[in-house]
Structure 1
């Protein structure tokens, strides 16, 4: 008898009907839950476990094309990842939602109240299926609870188009029926959160269909892109949200990611509290040489940050051989709030210190500071209590801008209200009120050779800069069908000469020196990096592109591969064995 892994879940949950029925009636009953608004609210709280975790967001870009890390992910190593290693085919949360929707029909509760909580449930069902489709493509659409003998347990997958149409129906119901428009803690699902999330979902689906022509769904791409633009426009028109302190170009971007408060840019966030003892590990992850992935940005990506005058940095004469100290001057101020450079300080025992990029952590010189609280006492464990944005207004502006750009309907007013506003917060002085008319050759050559529209190119530049390290990049590259970027060489800052010490943050103290032969004498406070071609007879993972000078190259000794099958994950082997009718994704 064929079956899929949902059957295993149902054997555990259905044999006693539902977890709620196992609780003594004197404590709680099915009727008590569904016959009162307080019961519906209590049940709906269980759905919030489906929101991304701190790890999903803080560490979600550890497979992006714009960072290097201490190792090559198995996903990009030939022969290291396949159906036996795949995960994610888990359906427990879906049954919890469908059970609620089937039983939330008590006549003693008003229809408006029931529909409000049904709207929340359907929001989470849309979230559940969106993540499944992103990962696997076609998946079974299950809109009701299943018994152990239900034939849906043994069937195949439904077409992506049917599943995503159902996701859109769920989101539209949520938007129409959730009563709260805003909420003070920014931790609950509201009507506006559902609109913002709809803009994310529809932008993904519209661009995926547009660029993944193998699906033969490109004819419907514009409909999804228009839905994205409309949803984002509703959030913008609400007037409830704005960019955080846009006039403070030196701090407002950085403050978003280290604050324990809420502000008008947040639509939805994960909340943490020192008083309640609820923390995450951002500092530990981004400062530890052993605990985290040692994420560092590539020079190729840092090159995409504009000059303050609004021009492309890669239009500067001689940019290729500029040192770290030279290239970090006069740039979009978000760069200095994303990586360590001149002026970056931390607090140690109450004392403020200038802190350079540390090559005990970074491989490229571009060490992240986003998410990192300046208090160094937080570095050694799970100690951060800053709130983590799940949806913020900047993303909504980017979703609107990209949808309009892809539709070819963006005008100067749209540009000024979205990309112009974001760049203004970065201190950029020009090009804020009118859309570009000339395509940047660097973006075309290095990132998007098939894109000729300058507006699309600039929106993609802005999305990379604004949302870096927030967990979007992998699936942005996937939906744009540019997986080849994951196999590009990992490069770092330019080193003009060996055996020369560099003061990376220009505080008067040298920080790093590179050598092929170990120096006889060393300088206090300087980290010495061996960039010889071989070390102990083995290829060196960290070298310079021209041997004795050039860009840092990191871990290019370990090949990274890309194959178009990797736009979808394989169905996990065990689930395919349980139900062969699921069928494997192509070429896995």
Structure 2
């Protein structure tokens, strides 16, 4: 497959994106897949005929997001291993070695595969939204608004995942840098493939527009804990909005959005909609992933798994439960003395095998049916804490920080030097994020949004250099499959 013509590969990816859509398609054989024609043949004649069919398409949007090459595993892994918390053990290029080493190029598998999965999801969403508009009379107006809102929430989530890998962070230059192509139309052919990159600021503008519409149209809650965890509702959109504003350095807006879903005083919980709150046991949201701490997660079952070498447990858990692709870097956060031995996050999740330490937040064996956490209430509180600290409300920031730390280490008291000044408190909150959100795909996001350098790392005979924000390796390159077929890049 390496010698497959790049243009044919791109058209194949386009075709694959359409084949994922829940419509009736023209049949195709192996030869057609390897030598695709420029146009796709899609019949949406019956796709919006019944409420059941429309509901099936909504489910399909979520299914696309949890593809193993996307949020089903790989995205979280890449965002985790770019940072300094993990050491590559098996030198397997298929499972992210080049990402760990910051040694990617436009043809590297992860650069191309993630791009393809993300844009396939985006086009699926765009086709669905157009279908809803064209068939609005066939669906209850309340459901119509909800389904549009769910689709826009997922589109916002997808564009943020793209912009944080393939473009400079917003905070580097207030979003002036080139971002990614902002595709908002339903495409059923390759005719409109040529599209210039929008600025980072423009992409963020669209993300926020989608999330504002999502918040307005989503329900306050659903009928079961499973649905409250795995489908977007109002608090889900608000939580993601707060994350987006954090990445934009708009800390006043982080405070504003967080205040919608965090009570004024401890014990902190969402005052309306789904009553999100921390669980007493930090392991609970991973053992039973439909608790109220899980704001949004992607479900996995034995009949619907992320696929080979995509699963979080496969990457991060110790053999024989996982494959131990990556172990904890002893000079990373696991080696920090402020993370005490009595902390439940150590006691519950750290496991040693072969003199190496692994993190077992994802502890189910093959076929690895752990839910994938996308937004957890602990992150919401830490986002709020950081924004409160950066806007001068140190008292509120310490309260929120303490809620997260003392849940896992009840006897811990932050030293005065760690919280007495704004700068010290912000650094302490950033360290707490490294502990609390370890293995959930936040480390490289926190490095880039603060426009910090990726630290160097060494282990297993391998070395990855430090990467400065001005280095080309700081962001992922545009994939060859896009460069070859998009004349406006």
- Same topology, TM > 0.5: yes
CA pair 410-385 structure 1, distance change in 2 beyond 3 A = same
Distance 2:47 2:89 in 1: 49
1:431 to partner: Cα distance: 4.3
Q: Residue 103 of structure 1: which of 110, 113, 131 is its match?
A: 131
1:282 to partner: Cα distance: 2.1
Equivalent residue number for residue 242 of structure 1: 277
Matched ranges for 1:53-92 at <5 A: 53-54=72-73, 56-57=75-76, 61-70=80-89, 73-75=97-99, 77=101, 80-85=103-108, 86-87=111-112, 88-90=114-116, 91-92=119-120
Does structure 1 residue 20 correspond to structure 2 residue 23?
A: yes
CA contact (8 A) 2:328 2:359 kept: yes
Classify the secondary structure of the residue corresponding to 2:197. Answer: coil
Equivalent residue number for residue 160 of structure 2: 130
CA contact (8 A) 1:415 1:433 kept: no
1:38 to partner: Cα distance: 2.9
Which blocks of at least 5 consecutive residues in structure 1 are unaligned?
Answer: 207-220, 246-251, 309-327, 341-356, 440-451, 491-553, 583-588
Distance 2:128 2:304 in 1: 31
CA pair 262-77 structure 1, distance change in 2 beyond 3 A = closer
Distance 2:14 2:419 in 1: 57
CA contact (8 A) 1:436 1:455 kept: yes
Equivalent residue number for residue 313 of structure 2: 282
Equivalent residue number for residue 283 of structure 2: 254
Q: Residue 339 of structure 1: which of 342, 350, 354 is its match?
A: 350
CA contact (8 A) 2:401 2:429 kept: yes
Equivalent residue number for residue 392 of structure 1: 376
CA pair 53-65 structure 1, distance change in 2 beyond 3 A = same
CA contact (8 A) 2:22 2:47 kept: no
Classify the secondary structure of the residue corresponding to 1:158. Answer: strand
Equivalent residue number for residue 268 of structure 1: 296
Matched ranges for 1:63-212 at <5 A: 63-70=82-89, 73-75=97-99, 77=101, 80-85=103-108, 86-87=111-112, 88-90=114-116, 91-105=119-133, 106-137=136-167, 138-146=179-187, 148=189, 150=191, 152-182=192-222, 183-185=224-226, 186-204=229-247, 206=248
CA contact (8 A) 1:282 1:372 kept: yes
CA contact (8 A) 1:269 1:389 kept: yes
1:457 to partner: Cα distance: 0.5
**Larger CA deviation: 427-436 vs 555-564:** 427-436
Does structure 1 residue 46 correspond to structure 2 residue 65?
A: no
1:307 to partner: Cα distance: 6.6
Distance 2:290 2:100 in 1: 38
Distance 2:259 2:57 in 1: 32
Matched ranges for 1:325-336 at <5 A: 328=341, 331-336=342-347
For normalisation by structure 1, the TM-score amounts to 0.63
1:41 to partner: Cα distance: 1.5
CA pair 5-305 structure 1, distance change in 2 beyond 3 A = farther
1:56 to partner: Cα distance: 4.4
Distance 2:377 2:336 in 1: 22
1:36 to partner: Cα distance: 4.1
Matched ranges for 1:322-471 at <5 A: 328=341, 331-340=342-351, 357-358=352-353, 360=354, 362=356, 366-372=357-363, 378=365, 382-406=366-390, 408-416=391-399, 418-429=400-411, 431=413, 437-438=419-420, 453-471=423-441
Distance 2:292 2:129 in 1: 32
CA pair 368-142 structure 1, distance change in 2 beyond 3 A = closer
Matched ranges for 1:295-306 at <5 A: 295-306=327-338
Distance 1:332 1:41 in 2: 44
1:40 to partner: Cα distance: 2.3
Equivalent residue number for residue 325 of structure 1: none
Matched ranges for 1:491-510 at <5 A: none
Q: Residue 568 of structure 1: which of 475, 485, 488 is its match?
A: 475
CA pair 286-576 structure 1, distance change in 2 beyond 3 A = same
CA pair 101-255 structure 1, distance change in 2 beyond 3 A = closer
1:101 to partner: Cα distance: 1.3
Equivalent residue number for residue 475 of structure 1: 445
1:104 to partner: Cα distance: 1.0
* Partner deviation per Cα, 1:352-389 (whole Å, 9 max, x = no partner): xxxxx33x261xxx44343336xxxx4xxx15544443
Classify the secondary structure of the residue corresponding to 2:279. Answer: coil
CA pair 394-305 structure 1, distance change in 2 beyond 3 A = farther
* Larger relative helix fraction: 2
* Partner deviation per Cα, 1:538-564 (whole Å, 9 max, x = no partner): xxxxxxxxxxxxxxxx34664535252
Structure whose alpha-carbon radius of gyration is higher:
1
* Partner deviation per Cα, 1:311-335 (whole Å, 9 max, x = no partner): xxxxxxxxxxxxxxxxx4xx53423
